[in-house]
Amino acid sequence: MKIDKSIIKELSDYLDEFNLTEIEITEKDTKIKVSKNNVSISNQPVATSANIQTGNENVSKKPNVKSGMEITSPIIGTAYHAPEPGAKKFVEVGKKIKKGDTIMIVEAMKTINHVPSTADGTVKEICVEDGHPVEFGQTIIILE
């Protein structure tokens, strides 16, 4: 079996970009699963698998330094910037908000959860794109 290393590299990049712990892709009879510590590749008909260590452990990474007050997601789900498609966004970069204002909604299991601001401030950065998944504790907004 020939392994396309570019797919593994691309999936590894997604782990960092979306702050995930693992990601899996299936094409025909090949399944590739990449997690923070290993890559697993298996062919379903043969029912074999191999663990491959990625070379990311030796690569020095710049720490992701963020200044300001971070507001994190209280739950796992899909983040939305507005109450419905086409509606006005809850917050935008540069907008002043108060503690308790809804900054985003996170949909989990068909339930809409309003995420309130935990502090007063001005929105410096929105860290998650509209309609993208978020994990518990992931930074979603940074305030000044």
State mean pLDDT over 69-76: 89
Token reading at 53? 């260590």
The domain spans of the chain are 5-58, 69-143
SS3 content of the chain, % helix, strand, coil (to 5): 10, 40, 50
Q: Is the pTM of this model over 0.85?
A: no
Rounded-to-integer distance, Cα 105 and Cα 82, Å: 7
A 10 A CB-CB count for 33 gives 17
Taking domain 69-143, whether its CATH number is 2.40.50.100 is answered by yes
Return mean pLDDT, the chain: 77
pLDDT in tens, 81-100: 998 888 999 999 999 999 99
